Amino acid sequence: VLGYMDNTFAPANTTKRAELVAMINRMLGWAQLVTGQSISRWPDVPFTHWAVRHIEKASISHTAKPGADQMDYMIEELPDSVQ
């Protein structure tokens, strides 16, 4: 578990959805996903949000290539039967 960007840690705070997604991705060893798009797919998560690439990794079925910068680069989005 990582703390906040200001190097603080607040275990008594309520965990936000984006924080939980980032924690689960890290637990699974998943890198953040770079899709090549400059807009967010979700109206409540702007593209500039710190966790947008964690959320993309967890919610888009895809194939990806790992990069030297600890990011995964999406090659192809796969069809998803979940609606």
DSSP letter for 73, please: E
pLDDT in tens, 20-69: 999 999 999 999 999 999 999 889 999 999 999 999 999 999 999 999 99
Residue 64 to residue 75: CA distance in whole angstroms: 5
pTM of the model: 0.83
Q: Per-residue pLDDT averaged across 68-80, rounded?
A: 95
